[in-house]
Amino acid sequence: MRRLLGIALIAGMAWSGAGGAGVARAAGYSALTLPLVSGGERPDLLIAQRTIERSWGPSEDSVYVEFDVPEWRSEGAALALSAAVPGLGQAYAGDRRRGLWFALAEAAGWTVRQIHRQRGRELRDDAARYAGVPTDSTSKWSFTRWARETQADPTELEGLYAADRDVFYDLIASDPRYLGGWEGSSVDARTYFGELRRTSDARLRTARYAGVVLWINHVAAAVEALRAARLQNLPLTPNTGLKVRSGWHAGSPSVRAMIERKF
């Protein structure tokens, strides 16, 4: 809730009829009325300033008016809400329609991310099960078979399998040097295994892209919520204007200039 203070400053002047000395007439004016005319046939403009000090709190007169603005929305709160949950800041600022779009984008992003991430992991597990454990000589791909076919030492490959299985599976799926490790040195087996791995990689890559889109949605929603709160508060911001009124007072012409600050 924001508390605003309205202030009206009134300046006035009056002079007597022709032929006499100009006399400032203060009687009948409010406490803020300032004399602007001093003696002589031609009035001289006097500039005066009065400083008014008041502690913050309820006012007892009609010049200072304190009131609450229930429509006011904190821009920082709107930004933080949509940064955490896209659409929530817009709802707080009163723009529910835009908030709904950000919320739907968030839900769609999480759905795509979870579906592709889960399917990618399932395909990766299927590929690993198809190839089998390479330390088992009966698996589709084994160290023993590869060493027999190539007359090479499998120690380095065994260390790679123990340290990083994803890199190991990528090698036996794509590098022709390791074709001998497949059962019957079958190209078809390696091709099927590689297809499973490539489909898995594509699914996981889509999941990562969805995660990036989710971050972008959070940032965009936060900025949009800030804008929505600012537009909501725009009609409530203070503005200053000058009003000039003329008339007669105690048989003499008078001019009253009033500076108003509206909220």
pLDDT of 254 above 90? no
pLDDT of residue 32: 45
Q: What is the pLDDT of residues 127-160, one digit of tens each?
A: 999 999 999 999 999 999 999 999 999 999 999 9
pLDDT of 120 above 70? yes
CB atoms within 10 A of CB 213: 16
Confidence of residue 23 (pLDDT cuts 50, 70, 90): very low
pLDDT of residue 201: 95
pLDDT of residue 14: 39
Q: What is the pLDDT of residues 77-113, one digit of tens each?
A: 999 999 999 999 999 999 999 999 999 999 999 999 9
Q: What is the pLDDT of residues 42-87, one digit of tens each?
A: 555 444 555 555 555 555 544 555 555 567 889 999 999 999 999 9
Average pLDDT of every residue of the chain: 77
Q: How many CA within 13 A on the CB side of residue 8?
A: 16
Contact 127, 196 (CB under 8 A): yes
Residue 170 in tokens:
């990528």
Distance CA 196, CA 199 (A): 5
Contact 95, 88 (CB under 8 A): no
Q: Give 69-77's long-range contacts (Cβ < 8 A, gap of 24+).
A: 69/1, 69/2, 69/3, 69/4, 69/236, 69/263, 70/1, 71/232, 71/236, 72/1, 72/2, 72/232, 72/233, 72/236, 73/229, 73/232, 73/233, 74/229, 75/226, 75/229, 75/230, 75/233, 77/229
Contact 90, 102 (CB under 8 A): yes
Which of these, 229, 187, 224, 1, lies nearest to 93 by C-alpha position?
229
pLDDT of 207 above 80? yes
- Please report the beta strands in 120-215, taking only residues with DSSP state E, as ranges in sequence order: none
Average pLDDT over residues 200-209: 97
Contact 26, 252 (CB under 8 A): no
Distance CA 61, CA 51 (A): 17
Q: Which residues pair with 243 in a beta bridge?
A: 258
pLDDT of residue 71: 76
Contact 109, 148 (CB under 8 A): no
Average pLDDT over residues 8-15: 40
